[in-house]
Structure 1
Amino acid sequence: MNIAVVVGSIRKDSYNRRFAEALAKLAPEGVKFNFLRIDDLPHYDQDDDGDNAPEVRRLKAEVEAADGVLFVTPEYNRSYSGVLKNAIDQASRPYGQAKWKGKPAAIVTVSYGPLSGAMAAQHLRNVLAVLDMPTLNQPEMYLQWKDGLVDEQGNVGPASKDFAQNFVDTFVAWVRRFKH
C-alpha cells in the first residue's frame, strides 16, 4: 500500500515534517509512506493546464499512484498553508481531471499555538470534500507542538505514541476500505 504524504510546511525544521516522518515509522508492514515534494511547484495558472511543468506532472503521477493521502499541515491565520493550497490546485486541474478524486485521506495538524490547527483542518476538510476525497473523521489529530512530541531519534514521543499508533492503524484500515 502506498500512502502519499503531503506536508504543508516547507520550513527547514518543520514541526509538521518531523511529526509526519515519526508517524511514518508507525506504519504496518507492507505500507509505504511516500513524501511528495511541493516546494518546487510553480504557482497554479490555468493557462498552464494544457502544458504542465515537469514538477506538476511528477506531483500528478505520484498522487495518481497513491492508494491514500495523508495531509499534514500547520495552521496559518486560521487556515492551511498557501504551498499546500497550490499543490492541491495543481493536481486538481484542469477541471474534471483531479488526481485526488476518490483517494481516501486523513488530516493531521501540528501547530505551536494552543488551538493546534483545528481551523486549518476544517478548511482543508471542506476542500477535500469538493475533490471527492473520503476523509477520515475519527480519530482527529490536531497537535500542539511541545518538546517531546518527537524524540531525539525521530520517533513519536511516549506521551503521544499510543494515540499516534491508533491514528495510523485506523487510517491504514480506512484506506484499505477503498483499495481496489
Structure 2
Amino acid sequence: MDKINIVAIVGSLRKDSLNLQLAKIAQSYVEGKANFEILNISGVPFFNQDIEYPAPEEVQRIREKVKVADGVWFFAPEYNHFFSGVLKNTIDWLSRPFSEVEGHVLSRKPAAISGITPGLSGTLVAQDHLVTLLSFTNMDVMNRPRLSIAHGMEQVNEDGKLELTASSSYLFKQADAFIDYIKNRK
C-alpha cells in the first residue's frame, strides 16, 4: 500500500499558536509513516454564496488538497467553549459542493481531532461541538482517541516553543491510531 496522505487543518491563524505547534509535532512524528501536510487557511475568505461558483482560488486550493487526502486531522483551539470562527469558515467552504455537479470533499473522509489550550478545560467542549459539525458533513470521525491538552503553557519552553513533555505519548498514540483508522477504511 502506498503511503497515506493526511492533511491537517489548524483552527488558529496565529503564527506561533499552540495548535499549530502541536500539528508540527504530529507532522514530525508521522514522517516516514504517512505524508502529512498542514494546510494554510489564512487566505480563505468569509463564506459567501455570491462568490461560490467559481470558488475563490484559496478555496479551490484547499478543496483539492482535502479531496486527494486519505484523512483530515483537525487541530482545534477553544474560544469561549467553541471552536474558532476561522475553522468554522473553512469547514463551511469545504462542506459546499465542489462544483454544480460534484459533491463536497468532506463526505466519508476520515477525521481526527486534537487541541491544546493554555486554560483549564483543554479543548473538550470545542471538540464536542466540532464532532457535531463534522458528523453533519458526513465525515467519518475517529472519536477515540481524541486529544485535549489543558495547561498547554506548562509544556512550553523558555523560547515559547511547545515541547509536549507530559503529553507526547498521547499525541503519538493518536497519530498511530489515526493512521490505522485510515488504513482499515481503504
TM-score normalised over the length of structure 1: 0.91
- The equivalent of 1:32 in structure 2 is 35
Question: How many angstroms apart in 1 are the aligned matches of 2:17 and 2:113?
Answer: 16
- The equivalent of 1:125 in structure 2 is 131
Question: How many angstroms apart in 2 are the aligned matches of 1:171 and 1:155?
Answer: 22
Deviation digits for residues 97-131 of structure 1 (CA, Å, limit 9, x no counterpart): 21111110011011111110111101100011011
Question: Alpha-carbon deviation of 1:160?
Answer: 1.9
Residue 156 of structure 1 contacts residue 164 of structure 1 at CA under 8 Å; is this kept in 2? no
- The counterpart of 2:174, out of the listed 143, 164, 167, is 167
TM-score normalised over the length of structure 2: 0.88
Aligned length: 179
Extract structure 1 runs of 4+ deviating beyond 6 A: none
Question: How many angstroms apart in 2 are the aligned matches of 1:157 and 1:7?
Answer: 17
- The equivalent of 1:105 in structure 2 is 111
Aligned with 2:82: secondary structure?
coil
C-alpha root-mean-square deviation of aligned residues, in Å?
2.1
Query: Aligned pair in 2 of structure 1 residues 55, 115: CA closer, same or farther (>3 Å)?
Result: same
- The equivalent of 1:22 in structure 2 is 25
Question: How many angstroms apart in 1 are the aligned matches of 2:162 and 2:153?
Answer: 14
- The equivalent of 2:185 in structure 1 is 178
- The equivalent of 2:96 in structure 1 is 93
Which runs of 5 or more residues in structure 2 are unaligned? none
Which runs of 5 or more residues in structure 1 are unaligned? none
Aligned with 2:37: secondary structure?
strand
Residue 155 of structure 2 contacts residue 162 of structure 2 at CA under 8 Å; is this kept in 1? no
- The equivalent of 2:55 in structure 1 is 52
Question: Alpha-carbon deviation of 1:140?
Answer: 2.1
Q: Percent same amino acid at aligned positions?
A: 33
Question: How many angstroms apart in 1 are the aligned matches of 2:157 and 2:141?
Answer: 25
Residue 149 of structure 1 contacts residue 160 of structure 1 at CA under 8 Å; is this kept in 2? no
Question: Alpha-carbon deviation of 1:28?
Answer: 5.5
Question: How many angstroms apart in 1 are the aligned matches of 2:134 and 2:157?
Answer: 28
Residue 149 of structure 1 contacts residue 159 of structure 1 at CA under 8 Å; is this kept in 2? no
Query: Aligned pair in 2 of structure 1 residues 163, 10: CA closer, same or farther (>3 Å)?
Result: same
Deviation digits for residues 73-110 of structure 1 (CA, Å, limit 9, x no counterpart): 10011110011111101111139721111110011011
